[in-house]
Structure 1
């Protein structure tokens, strides 16, 4: 496997960019922001059927394309550029890798539904107020005469209100395990949450004796969650690179036409430096995201560390580019009618998602033993 972009990957990225420009312009994104789920079901269906987004990383025997996270990375960058209110991060970033170690029967039941876009899936593990902690267990599973049931509470859950399938981490007799719960089960209650980033849905999920299917080995829940989070970091880092690039492009376009003191503001050194420094950071973040995606297939033993570095690097690059975009636009950038603030909110929310930069740096230090 190579880190160089192939013709097929380049074509996938360009096709995705054209598709999202047509199917999900920012005017449509704004309309979706006003819905409780912040999720565009029609867009996700089209992304799944026309781009194969939901099944890119799903093995062919389960109805997917059988590709890898390098291809997902290119598609995710364009989704982030467009602020697409899709289930890409929740479903392809979290749920699909969480199921890759599941028993064949569970994979055969769930992955085809995910791959064709008919079922949005997400992963829930954190207790309310635990700030994305992966070290605690927020639910308990009980085995009965009719199978497993799970009770507990999770918050926030990414795209929880849009999901048809919830993969939940629960304490079981053999240790923490991953279970699949249908969102339509009578024991499931889902409440959408208000969020800083109105283009990405979060929810609280309460389970009371919800019927569940074991989808990990007994005691293998944390291993499944670790795989899910590492792959999600790859997808999120790629999304953030796309958002950062869109913010920089917006800054440069405005700096070329906005005049002050009789000349374009892009001719002033302070503005040029902001744009140049943002570009350097974005290029570094893109390289890290692509490397982490490569590790997912070619060097899985390096994935957790590479993904953590990619997420932290992209988070800082995006937050800087989006913040500089606001400054370059001045007062107009913070008006509701302008799109700059949408990218800034996404950048801040993405920076905090799964843990802030400080938390990721501590994780990286632990992984390399310092």
Structure 2
């Protein structure tokens, strides 16, 4: 897969957004959708969550290393694909559509972006620049799909909030899938092998994104960066995560609408499809309009992150403030317009609704991102 290098996107000058999908992105979408259809359809996910282990066997290595999705954000000189957030966003759209249980957002986006901040050439020498140092070595392993890293912060942590661990950390997403933790401590950012930490699974609302309490306080770990560089790196990782989470929400909402349209065409009442009833057509038309806006917001966030645009934080805040609500509305409509079957455990609509509700709090609530947006635009809060 040939892409422009990651550095070529890091232009902080004026940026003209491009929301259209490229041929490369369309080809990547086809590959990911084909893999998920074969290995992780909705029925497969429903069957897996019954076992308490939602991760489909062999799917993460196939996605991370086989397709190369784990290294999309990593420059070629560090062993990655040299692509950008635009391509990663396409992967997340497909993962959202299928509500796929894989640690892509946590490992290939948040943890990877955190490490990239430490290996950037403009970083201080103490942050292990270029291709040298433990951060770069770990990043190469992540890009190759050889290891899976997770940043030990609660899933609800927003980019501006920041976080340092001084004891057990609750609600860490995909911790059970990690073999190394990136632990932000008051003294800096540390890489801690998962075997040296205590991981206690908890019961989440969204069974396709497992949560756990991680206690790495007894492990020394390897120092990756000092306190200041660590704060900057963690914020960059969380910002990228929040921006690309909008693409996951977009994909989820698109599936919900498509599935609802399909069902209402096939479900008959009074000798006609229920989808022909005007009230239902209006509801689905309104949802389609919501999706048009969500697609623009999600694509703008991915494009701004890829270009290193000066207004990336603003664009991410817009995407999260809007897309999280659209995903929840789409999932709610999917459940309701399916009637009785939509309320059952056997139908995948509840997977979408639970993921949408969990995503609504992930990486900052809607209200938090609205506050960020107001602050960046210097909009006074209502009296």
* Aligned length, in residue pairs: 350
Matched, 1:17 2:33: yes
Q: Distance in 1 between matches of 2:307 and 2:222?
A: 31
- Residues 125-169 of structure 1: per-residue CA shift (max 9 Å, x gap): 34xxx95366464434xxxxxxxxxxx221111111111111111
| 1:122 correspondence with 2:137 | no
**Cα distance, 1:320 vs structure 2:** 0.6
Q: Normalised by the size of structure 1, how large is the TM-score?
A: 0.90
Shift of 1:108: 2.8
Instruction: Please report how far the alpha carbon of residue 332 of structure 1 lies from its aligned counterpart in structure 2 after TM superposition.
Output: 1.1
* CA deviation map 1:62-117 (0-9, x unaligned): 21101100011111101111111111110122101100122231233201211121
3-state SS in 2 of match to 1:139: coil
Find out whether 1:252 has 2:268 as its counterpart.
no
Shift of 1:337: 0.9
Gaps of 5+ in 2: 1-8, 10-17, 119-127
Provide the rounded CA distance (Å) in 2 between the counterparts of 1:93 and 1:243: 18
Give the structure 2 partner of residue 203 of structure 1.
212
Verify the 8 A CA contact 2:92 2:247 in the aligned structure 1. Answer: yes
Structure richer in strand, relative to its length: 1
Partners of 2:317 and 2:356 lie apart in 1 by 17
Structure 1: how far apart are the matches of 2:180 and 2:256? 34
Correspondence 1:253-268 to 2 at 5 A:
253-268=262-277
CA distance in 2, matches of 1:37, 1:166: 20
Q: 1:266 to 1:329 in 2, by over 3 A?
A: same
SS at match of 2:186: strand
Structure 1 residues not aligned, in runs of 5+: 141-151
Kept in 1: contact 2:162–2:235 (CA 8 A) = no
- Alpha-carbon displacement from aligned partner over 1:7-61 (angstroms, at most 9, x marks no partner): 1111111221122111211122123323545333510000022211111111112
Q: Aligned to 2:219, what secondary structure does the other structure show?
A: strand
Contact in 2 for aligned 1:37/1:159 (Cα 8 Å): no
Q: Any residues of structure 2 matched to 1:1-370 within 5 Å, and which?
A: 2-36=18-52, 38-40=54-56, 42-102=58-118, 103=128, 104-126=132-154, 132=157, 135=161, 137-140=163-166, 152-172=167-187, 177-185=188-196, 188-370=197-379
- Partner in structure 2 of residue 143 of structure 1: none
Q: Deviations over 1:180-216 (max 9, x none)?
A: 111112xx10011101111111111012331222223
* Partner SS state of residue 208, structure 1: coil
Deviates more, 1:301-310 or 1:243-252: 301-310
Q: Segments of 4+ in structure 1 off by > 4 A? A: none
Question: Which residue pairs with 2:14 in the alignment?
Answer: none
Write the distance in 2 (CA, Å) between the matches of 1:311 and 1:41. Answer: 31
CA 1:137–1:50: 2 relative to 1, 3 Å: closer
Residue deviations 1:225-278, cap 9 Å, x none? 110111101221111111101100110001101112221111111111111111
The 2-side partners of 1:37 and 1:180 are apart by 25
CA contact (8 A) 1:197 1:349 kept: yes
SS at match of 2:69: coil
| Counterparts of 1:41 and 1:366, CA distance in 2 | 44
* In structure 1, distance between residues paired with 2:54 and 2:229: 32
CA 61–82 in structure 1, closer or farther in 2 if over 3 Å, else same: same
Distance in 2 between the 1:36 and 1:61 partners? Answer: 39
In the alignment, is the contact (CA less than 8 A) between 2:43 and 2:348 conserved in 1? no
RMSD between aligned residues: 1.8
What is the TM-score normalised by the length of structure 2?
Answer: 0.87
TM-aligned CA distance change 1:347 to 1:135, over 3 Å: closer
Q: Is the CA contact 2:46–2:346 (under 8 Å) kept in the aligned structure 1?
A: no
User: Could you say what secondary structure the match of 2:147 adopts?
Assistant: coil
